[in-house]
A and B are shown apart, each in its own frame.
Chain A
Amino acid sequence: MAQRGELILETRKLTKHFGPTVALNAVDFKIYRGQITGLIGENGSGKSTITSIAAGMQPPTSGEMFFKGQPHHPSSMIEGIECGIGMIVQEQGTVPGISVAENIFLGEEKKFGKVLISRRKMQEEARKVLENIGLTNVDPAAPIESLNMQDRKLVEIAKTVYMKPEMLVVDETTTALSQSGREIIYDIMKKMRDDDKAVVFISHDLEELMEICDTLTVLRDGNFIATLDKEDFDEDLIKKYMVGREMTGDYYRSDYGTPISDEVVLKVDDVTTGEGMLMNFSMELHKGEILGIGGLSHCGMHELGKACFGETPVLRGTVTHVASGEKITTALNAMKHGLGYVSKDRDKEALVLTESIADNIVSAGYDKLKKGIFLMPSDTKKYVDKQVKDLSIKCASVKQDVQYLSGGNKQKVVFGKWIGRECDILILDCPTRGVDIGVKAAMYALINEMRLAGKSIIMISEEMAELIGMCDRLLILKDGQQSGEFFRSEDLNENDIIEVMI
């Protein structure tokens, strides 16, 4: 057993209900100083709920919390911060319309003058705060919206670290960061551990958790399952704890040597997009093929997905739907020719969060369902119910707002939109991003079924294992251009790909 520091946070029988849903069920949980505690579990397992309660973002339904030995019941994030708990959340936590420095000292302006605030002093101090985490290329006076997503996230991290928390919660932040950004946050966590502070690290990336954390706590369906020390870390055991069943890791395709049809369904010819890095790019997608697109962040792969669906301006080149010979220039045009697109940014680009599951699923299928100018309730109900059943979407009712679903179920709704439409060509941009292993396995099975049904799939992913495991062919992009091509093989491994990726 690892040597533990002083107990800093303890929950006793902590329970949280959201209506009839039990998000946390009498959880006993302990966090110690001098450790990085990993928190893992499927979507909806209660990881973010327990930490957000501790940080004051929401109250528990029942149960007790003790922070540094004292009863702890913060009523707001401010109180949480004042107690010493800082939290970096999944969502973007910066405010547009104000500068980097103003974002760092948001709510703390009085430090720079009681009546009049000194901008100069604020910017000087902000520069020190940014430099403290190694962020030297960001101008504190710049408007925050002039920064890219990663730098904005790092500004947020710098701000949280500046508050010198006793306990830092990092909630699935690393998914938004490139390797260099991740290194910054790993260093911060390690430094805090070395300074006898506590860190709670929530991530879906098991490999990352196993490497960084000293202990790992597994939650499942709001219940505490187990805490493992570093010497007991075992990938299969953790997966078993997470899903409650054996997961040996072979949830990818098992077939090799399956011939790819010669029939080309979509042709990308010398495309340069206005946004992102993609330039002079050509490829062909065949019928019944899963074509993987991989690369480092900002390599242009996400823009490629958008360009294929007519969602981003193409400055030069063409995307052609081969069967009709028509150029794909708009999303409407793409849909007309049987294309579907699952965006990486699920909450902003693929779903209307404040609308129901039914409305979201039907939204891509109006033209299929309409009779004249009417939509028949019985038809739409049948259409929606089929998707909910086939995809096993967990919900109280199809009238439930999508915003209240877990990440995995939200993604299933997005899939339902396009599967219901019976698309022949599906563009999937990071289809398993932020979903748990159980949902991932279901997604892979579904993608494979679609392939067997003759659908063509472009699978864009940042996970190499996923690309190797699922794709017939793999194109790697580097700086917006193709740097390598691989065919499905049992011998293909990550090292081969990394060579052309970096």
Chain B
Amino acid sequence: MKSKKILKNIGMTLVLPVATYLLFFILTRLTGNTGFGVGMDLQTIIYTSVYSCLISQAMTINLQTGRFDFAIGSTLVLSTIIGGDLAYKWGLGAFGMLACVMILAALCGLVSGLVYVILGLPPMVVSLGLAMIYEAIGFMYNNAKGLRLIGKMNYLIFSSFPNNIILMVIVLILLVIVYDYSKIGYNRRALAGGQKIAVDVGIREKKNAVICYVIAGALLGLAGCVYLSKYGMISPETGLSSSSYFMSAFLPMFIGSIFGRYSSQPIAVFMGAVVQAFLTSGLSALGASSSLMTVINGLVVCAFLIYSSNSYKLVEAKMFREKLEKANMAKGITAKANQG
């Protein structure tokens, strides 16, 4: 019984990525394209999965407790520019850079969290204000040049295989522990389910919120390093254009919220990121333009939203069928009794 349940959970966790891969594999082979899902394309898929998964995890941790953080993109940009620059100037190497960027991003998260709990303003308002401030600091730093490390290969190690996957596995293990087996995770889920009741039994909502912001910040720092490793540079953003950094994070988050019950939410979010990467790469291999890809991506996000909002109807339909069968049986019994 238990092993059956485990098998079902594994199957449900993998079904969507496997199905997406097979779909595009067949479609690309039918059109004569043999590049999808192998070689360089596979490496791009892995990079995209890791990068969007990290941002999506950072978004999910706050959004599920009702806090939409508009400063996600600006935190990533600011911490990567300053942290990367300092690490490079101080000659700290790749892991030193990773630590610098993560610490700075976590500090940005700490500031975001503290401002939110101290001011008591809606998270959207607070994060919009902070996004502008972070963008402005990133712009002012280094005379708006951002950070260029092109060619400094000893610093740019986090986007290539297998480093990116190792990084992802470590992050996922840590997140599963935090989400499912730690007090922080328990408290976070309780606050997401019923804030007042959770607070009444002593769960400290503000402390938990600040911790979530800090964890989200650290994850964004990691995402920043992966991004920097891929492109060798990062430019400052202004006018809230940093929001483009998290636009790809929605689909993994929605998939994570639907499939999380079969494994653990961080794993399901990663699976969502893999699905998105297959989708992007597959459409590209089929020759879709970037506008068409955006439209299709949007449609898939809508499809998942529609499903998650209406999934109860499937259960309901089954329940209704059973109820009608029961009513028919009862009717038969009554009719028989009347005849008798």
Q: Which residues of A contact B (CB under 8 A)?
A: 57, 76-78, 93-98, 102, 106-107, 109-110, 113, 115-117, 119, 272-274, 279-280, 313, 315-316, 480-481
Report if A274-B193 is in contact (Cβ < 8 Å); known contacts: A117-B186, A316-B327: no
A106 pairs with B181, CB closer than 8 A: no
Assess whether B331 is interfacial by the CB under 8 Å rule.
Answer: yes
Assess whether B207 is interfacial by the CB under 8 Å rule.
Answer: no
A78 pairs with B201, CB closer than 8 A: yes
A110 pairs with B190, CB closer than 8 A: no
B323 pairs with A95, CB closer than 8 A: no
Nearest Cβ on chain B to A119's Cβ, whole angstroms: 7
The CA-CA distance from A322 to B334 in the complex, in Å, is 27
Chain B, 302-325, CB within 8 A of any chain A CB:
316, 319-320, 323-324
Binary contact track B175-194/A, C-beta < 8 Å → 1, others 0: 00100111100110110111
A97 pairs with B323, CB closer than 8 A: no
Give the interface centre of A78, A107, A113, A313 by most chain B CB atoms within 10 Å: A107
Assess whether B330 is interfacial by the CB under 8 Å rule.
Answer: yes
B320 pairs with A119, CB closer than 8 A: no
Assess whether B326 is interfacial by the CB under 8 Å rule.
Answer: yes
Q: A95-B197, A97-B190, A97-B192 are in contact. List 7 more A-B contacts (CB 8 A).
A: A77-B201, A94-B197, A95-B193, A98-B190, A274-B320, A480-B330, A481-B330
Within 8 Å CB of A113, what residues of B?
181
Report if A96-B330 is in contact (Cβ < 8 Å); known contacts: A76-B200, A77-B201, A117-B183: no
Assess whether B202 is interfacial by the CB under 8 Å rule.
Answer: yes
Within 8 Å CB of A95, what residues of B?
190, 193-194, 197-198
Helix, strand, loop or mixed for chain A's interface?
loop
Residue contacts A-B, CB under 8 angstroms, 6 given? A95-B194, A98-B190, A109-B187, A119-B181, A272-B327, A313-B320
Assess whether B279 is interfacial by the CB under 8 Å rule.
Answer: no
A96 pairs with B193, CB closer than 8 A: yes
A106 pairs with B330, CB closer than 8 A: no
Within 8 Å CB of B334, what residues of A?
280, 481
How many positions in chain B have a CB within 8 Å of any CB in the partner chain?
A: 28
Q: Which residues of B contact A (CB under 8 A)?
A: 177, 180-183, 186-187, 189-190, 192-194, 197-198, 200-203, 316, 319-320, 323-324, 326-327, 330-331, 334
Within 8 Å CB of A272, what residues of B?
323-324, 327
Within 8 Å CB of A316, what residues of B?
324, 327
Report if A116-B190 is in contact (Cβ < 8 Å); known contacts: A94-B197, A279-B330, A316-B324: no
The CA-CA distance from A57 to B180 in the complex, in Å, is 30
Within 8 Å CB of B316, what residues of A?
274
B327 pairs with A116, CB closer than 8 A: no
Nearest Cβ on chain B to A129's Cβ, whole angstroms: 15
Nearest Cβ on chain A to B339's Cβ, whole angstroms: 16
The CA-CA distance from A106 to B203 in the complex, in Å, is 8
Nearest Cβ on chain A to B319's Cβ, whole angstroms: 7
Q: Which 5 A-B pairs have the closest CB atoms?
A: A97-B193, A107-B201, A95-B194, A279-B327, A95-B193
Within 8 Å CB of A76, what residues of B?
200, 202
Nearest Cβ on chain B to A298's Cβ, whole angstroms: 14
Report if A110-B183 is in contact (Cβ < 8 Å); known contacts: A97-B192, A481-B330: yes
The CA-CA distance from A119 to B190 in the complex, in Å, is 15
Within 8 Å CB of B323, what residues of A?
272-274, 279, 315
Nearest Cβ on chain B to A403's Cβ, whole angstroms: 14
Nearest Cβ on chain A to B56's Cβ, whole angstroms: 19
Within 8 Å CB of A78, what residues of B?
200-202
Nearest Cβ on chain B to A282's Cβ, whole angstroms: 12
Nearest Cβ on chain A to B255's Cβ, whole angstroms: 18
**B192 and chain A: residue at smallest CB distance:** A97
Within 8 Å CB of A313, what residues of B?
320
B190 pairs with A117, CB closer than 8 A: no
The CA-CA distance from A70 to B175 in the complex, in Å, is 46
The CA-CA distance from A272 to B182 in the complex, in Å, is 47
Within 8 Å CB of A93, what residues of B?
197
Give the interface centre of A76, A113, A117 by most chain B CB atoms within 10 Å: A117
**A93 and chain B: residue at smallest CB distance:** B197
**A107 and chain B: residue at smallest CB distance:** B201
A96 pairs with B319, CB closer than 8 A: no
The CA-CA distance from A78 to B334 in the complex, in Å, is 55
The CA-CA distance from A107 to B190 in the complex, in Å, is 9
The CA-CA distance from A480 to B329 in the complex, in Å, is 13
Nearest Cβ on chain A to B265's Cβ, whole angstroms: 11
The CA-CA distance from A110 to B183 in the complex, in Å, is 7
Within 8 Å CB of A98, what residues of B?
186, 189-190, 193
Within 8 Å CB of B192, what residues of A?
97
Give the interface centre of B183, B187, B200, B319 by most chain A CB atoms within 10 Å: B200
**A479 and chain B: residue at smallest CB distance:** B330
Within 8 Å CB of B198, what residues of A?
95, 106-107
B183 pairs with A109, CB closer than 8 A: yes
Nearest Cβ on chain B to A140's Cβ, whole angstroms: 15
Nearest Cβ on chain A to B337's Cβ, whole angstroms: 12
**B180 and chain A: residue at smallest CB distance:** A119
B319 pairs with A274, CB closer than 8 A: yes
**B191 and chain A: residue at smallest CB distance:** A95
